[in-house]
Amino acid sequence: AMEDVSAKFVSQKISRARWRPPPHAALQPPDVFATGSWDNEDNRISLWSAGDLGNVGLSGEYHGEPHLLCDIQHNGDVMDMQFLDQERIVVASSTGTVTIFRHHQNNQTLSANHRWEKAHHHVDQNTSCGGAACTGVVCNNPEIVTVGEDGRINLFRADQKDAVRTIDNADSSTLHAVTFLRTTEILTVNSIGQLKIWDLRQQRNEPSQIFSLAGDRVPLHCVDRHPNQQHIVATGGQDGMLSIWDIRQGTMPVSLLNAHEAEMWEVHFHPSNPDHLFTCSEDGSLWHWDASTNVSEKPSFLHQGGRSTTYLSHSTINQSVVSAWLSNDPTKDRMEITNLIPNQTLSVNSLDVLGSCLVYGTDAEAIYVNRQLFA
C-alpha cells in the first residue's frame, strides 16, 4: 500500500506534523497541514497543501506531493504544535517561549501573532539562559495549556497578554505532554512514569489524581484521550510500550502492550474512528493498531517481524458498552497491528490522523502523506 504515500524531502528534521482542523461539518478530506522542525540551524514552521486532489489516476489512486504554501523562521526547536483554529497555530519552543502564528490565507503568509516569552524557565525568568523547554501544548480555543521541563503548567487565553493561571511547581520532574480530559481538566505525563489529572477549577496546586506505571518509573513521552470515552487514555513511553488506562479505576494501566523498540514519541486515537490508534517511534516505525471487534477473523499479528504482544494485566468491566481498548482478552481477540513504514530508517517524531489521511514527519528530513489509511 506504499503507493498511496507521497513523500516530500524538506532539508529539515521534522519534529511535529498537524492537520489543519476542518471547517465544521466538512466532508472533504483534509487539505492543509503544518510542520515544525528541530535540530536545524534555522528551524521553521511551514504550511503545506497536501497535494493536488484533482490529480487522481484512473483507478482512484492519488498523485502529487505536498507543496509548500508558506513558512516562517522559528526560534529554537519546535517541541510541540497545535492548531488553535483554522488560522492560528500555537507552537512550543525549546527556548521556553510559546508563540501563536497566524496564517493569512489571502496572501499565503505566516506571521507571529502573539508570544509569551519564556513561559517556561528555570529559577529566574530574567536570566539570559533561563529558558526551560516548553515540551507540550494543547488548545481548546481560546484556552491554551502548556507544560515544560521546568515542571510548570501554564493556562493562557489567546486574547490575554498574561497567563490566566500558572502552577509553578506542578511537578518535580519534567512534564512531557498534556491533553484535555474535559474542558476544565487536563492530563499530564512526566519523566517518572506518572499520569496526573489536574482540575483547573480548583485553586489547589496539586493534581486531583495520580496514576503511575508500576515498578520501573519509565518516562512517559505522550498521551491521548479516547475521543468518545473520556475515561480511556493511552500513553507511550521511553521503553516503546503502549499503556491503556481506565481513569475510573485503579492507579495502574489496564493494559501494557509491547510496542516499539525505542521511545514512543506520539500516540493518537483516530478522532472519528477510535477503535484505531496510531503510534510512532524513535525506532523508525509507525504502527496502526486496530482493536475493532471484527479482528478475530483476521490473521494473528504475531508474525509481525517476530514481535509478539504481551498483555500484563486485564480487567473485565461490566458495562453496556465495553470499549475495545478495555476488553482485550488475548485468547479471544486479536489486535491487528500494521507497521505503515516497512523500511524503517530514522526516528518518526510525529504523526496526525484525520479522516482517511495520515501525515507524519521524520528525522530523515521528510514528510509523508498517506491518503488511503482505510483502503
Q: Report pLDDT digits (tens) over 171-214.
A: 999 999 999 999 999 999 999 999 999 999 998 899 999 999 88
pTM metric for this prediction: 0.88
Q: Is residue 312 part of a domain?
A: no
Q: 111 pLDDT exceeds 80? A: yes
pLDDT of residue 126: 60
Q: 301 pLDDT exceeds 70? A: no
Give the least confident one: 54-63, 115-124, 320-329: 54-63
Identify the residue whose cell numbers are 498523485.
63
Q: Express each pLDDT in 223-240 by its tens digit.
A: 999 999 999 999 999 999
Assess contact for 47 and 2: CB atoms under 8 A.
Answer: no
Looking at the 3D structure of the chain, how many domains does it have?
1
Single-letter residue type at 154: N
Beta bridge partners of 318: none
Q: Is residue 313 part of a domain?
A: no
Range of the structural domain that residue 61 is part of: 5-23+30-292+321-370
Q: Is residue 305 part of a domain?
A: no
pLDDT of residue 309: 41
pLDDT of residue 345: 79
Average pLDDT value over all residues in the chain = 86
Q: Is residue 316 part of a domain?
A: no
Structure-block grid coordinates of residue 285: 516505525
Q: Express each pLDDT in 84-100 by its tens digit.
A: 999 999 999 999 999 99
At 108, is the pLDDT very low, low, confident or very high (cuts 50, 70, 90)? Answer: very high
The CATH number that applies at residue 55 is 2.130.10.10
Q: 302 pLDDT exceeds 50? A: no
Q: 300 pLDDT exceeds 60? A: no
Q: Is residue 299 part of a domain?
A: no
Q: Is residue 103 part of a domain?
A: yes
Q: Is residue 227 part of a domain?
A: yes
Q: Is residue 176 part of a domain?
A: yes
pLDDT of residue 210: 96
